[in-house]
């Protein structure tokens, strides 16, 4: 769209930026008939496949803070948020479009760093940049990514296929990203303390800034018809599990003892006198996958975990809808699973002292 405000980035700068992006990232394979540079991109559709399309908007002050993260880190994470959605659908990521609105305080070098982060997250999967849009912003940086993936027709993993008796699994470990975020917020107030962070704490921060999208496992779960439902954990287990339960019209029992908690998170929680379970249930932005399988696939799935070197934990079982969503605590008592999800538009989640 043409600018309607005099303070917006001049067309010359915009064209230069697009030109640079085109030269640096615009080389694409034979299936891209037209990439950056025309009015729209044109790609050859894959026979027997369906497109899987997702988008995610990140906003300065809401999703990221330029005092605790670099432009490259922001780009990387914005890309992972989309890659993770594609992983949760059991699809393969193919093409990327990036739209952004940037304030005059951001230099061309900042924008290039942002792209470097985006492409660093995408390149291992062969995702190609095929377009975008560029605008000025009067307040803060906005980055919107559209990611286009594909999956063999009929195989996409949805949220509505879980049935009573199916087993509930998660990849990796939970809560690390939230602890990493808390550590970063602490660094902001105690400037310079990052260097003094212990190795495990640095690992937690890395989990927050550089999460791994679980693409390989997601694609295998869909193409080998192993999973019956899947979701990525972007808002925290306690909330995201509820989405699967609501859409599948089922309940679930989660075993607190089975939740995968990293040694680093245990150490962090102990020092801050927080219950690590609470971080694991609440923690957003882990970008792990939660999926359900029929019990007969248990051994296959556990072998898959070993083969892909991805930790897989069975954390519970799907129940009929009337049971609701419950948590078996360490003493073996069943209680309703509290909703502790990570929410945007509210102050940063802060560790509560004292535990439970």
Give the footprint of Mg ion on this chain (CB under 5 A).
Answer: 133
Interaction of residue 100 with ligand ADP, rule CB under 6 A = yes
Tokens of residue 175, six digits: 């809560």
Task: Kindly report the number of other CB atoms within 10 A of residue 184's CB atom.
Answer: 20
Query: Across the chain, which distance is largest between two alpha carbons, in Å?
Result: 66
Q: Which does 38 bind (CB under 5 to 8 A by kind): Mg ion, ligand ADP, none?
A: ligand ADP
DSSP assignment string, 316-351: EEEEEGGG-EEEE-TTS-EEEPP-----SSSSPP-P
Q: Which is nearer to Mg ion, 7 or 191 (CB)?
A: 7
CB 285 within 8 Å of CB 342 = yes
Interaction of residue 346 with ligand ADP, rule CB under 6 A = no
Nearest approach in angstroms of CB 203 to ligand ADP is 33
Which one, of 271, 257, 252, 272, lies nearest residue 324 by Cα?
A: 252
Q: Which of 3, 16, 27, 38 binds ligand ADP (CB under 6 A)?
A: 38
Distance (Å, rounded) from C-alpha 170 to C-alpha 31? Answer: 34
- How many CA within 13 A on the CB side of residue 179? 33
Q: Which is nearer to ligand ADP, 2 or 192 (CB)?
A: 2
The site string for ligand ADP over 49-88 (x = CB under 6 A, - otherwise) reads ----------------------------------------
* Contact region with ligand ADP (CB under 6 A), list: 102-110, 130-138, 155-163, 211-219: 130-138
Distance (Å, rounded) from C-alpha 108 to C-alpha 230? Answer: 39
Interaction of residue 252 with ligand ADP, rule CB under 6 A = no
Interaction of residue 12 with ligand ADP, rule CB under 6 A = no
Q: Which of 98, 147, 204, 250 binds ligand ADP (CB under 6 A)?
A: 98
Structure-token match 């107030």, residue found: 189
Chain positions contacting ligand ADP, by CB under 6 A: 18, 21, 36-39, 98, 100, 129, 131-134
């Amino acid at each position: 769209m043409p600018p309607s405000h005099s303070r917006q980035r001049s067309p010359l700068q915009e064209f230069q930026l697009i030109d640079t992006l085109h030269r640096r990232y615009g080389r694409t394979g034979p299936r891209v008939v037209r990439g950056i540079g025309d009015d729209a991109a044109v790609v050859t559709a894959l026979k027997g496949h369906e497109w899987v399309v997702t988008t995610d908007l990140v906003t300065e002050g809401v999703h990221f803070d330029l005092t605790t993260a670099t432009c490259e880190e922001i780009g990387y994470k914005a890309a992972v948020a989309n890659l993770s959605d594609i992983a949760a659908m059991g699809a393969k990521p193919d093409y990327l479009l990036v739209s952004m609105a940037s304030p005059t305080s951001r230099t061309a070098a900042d924008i290039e760093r942002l792209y470097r982060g985006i492409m660093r997250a995408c390149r291992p999967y062969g995702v190609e940049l095929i377009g975008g849009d560029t605008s000025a912003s009067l307040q803060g940086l906005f980055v919107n990514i559209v990611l286009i993936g594909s999956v063999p027709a009929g195989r996409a993993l949805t949220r509505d296929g879980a049935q009573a008796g199916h087993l509930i699994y998660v990849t990796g470990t939970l809560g690390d990203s939230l602890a990493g975020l808390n550590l970063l917020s602490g660094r902001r107030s105690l400037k310079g303390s990052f260097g003094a962070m212990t190795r495990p704490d640095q690992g937690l921060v890395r989990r927050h800034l550089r999460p791994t999208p679980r693409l390989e496992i997601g694609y295998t779960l869909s193409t080998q018809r192993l999973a019956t439902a899947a979701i990525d954990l972007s808002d925290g287990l306690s909330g995201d599990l509820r989405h699967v339960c609501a859409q599948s019209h089922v309940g679930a029992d989660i075993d607190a003892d089975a939740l995968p908690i990293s040694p680093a998170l245990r150490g962090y929680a102990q020092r801050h006198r927080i219950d690590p379970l609470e971080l694991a249930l609440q923690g957003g932005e882990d970008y792990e996958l939660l999926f359900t399988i029929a019990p007969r696939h248990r051994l296959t799935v556990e072998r898959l975990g070993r083969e892909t070197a991805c930790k897989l934990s069975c954390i519970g079982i799907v129940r009929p809808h009337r049971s609701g969503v419950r948590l078996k605590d360490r003493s073996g008592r069943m209680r309703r699973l509290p909703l502790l999800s990570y929410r945007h538009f509210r102050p940063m989640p802060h560790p509560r002292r004292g535990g439970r």
